[in-house]
Amino acid sequence: MGKAMKFTSDDKKAVEAEVMKIYKESSPALENLFEWAYINHVAWSLVVVFLGLILWLSVALVNAENQRNALMTKQCADPIFKGELDKKCLRNVQSREHWWQHLSYALSNTSPQK
């Protein structure tokens, strides 16, 4: 039979030191573990800002198209003063059934009707 290899205490300490060195190198660096990348924050912040801007412009476009359609169909004529507009009616009128109808009409018809 083969002889069993005997390790001295110095050999054991050297092997143990090598294993611990490998273990320490594989663990995450605690000083960089919770580091933030600000580039992604800027990009996502810009996305949120632009989506908010698109939403705000869409609401404004829907309101403008609602009033334009009410004026074109004469839904807000003043009943007392002929030829004048009822501005309270113009603020509250719903000239189409749904808001998306105003948006789709406004986006698809960019030039005035002839």
pLDDT at position 3, please?
Answer: 58
Q: Say what percent of the chain tops pLDDT 70.
A: 85
Q: What is the pLDDT of residues 22-74, one digit of tens each?
A: 877 777 777 776 766 667 788 889 999 999 999 999 999 999 999 999 999 98
Spans of all domains in the chain: 33-108
Q: Could you give the maximum distance between any two Cα atoms of the chain, in Å? A: 120
pLDDT above 80 (res 8):
no
Q: How far is CA 101 from CA 11, 68, 94, in A?
A: 82, 13, 11
Q: Which position has the higher pLDDT, 3 or 25? A: 25
pLDDT at position 35, please?
Answer: 65
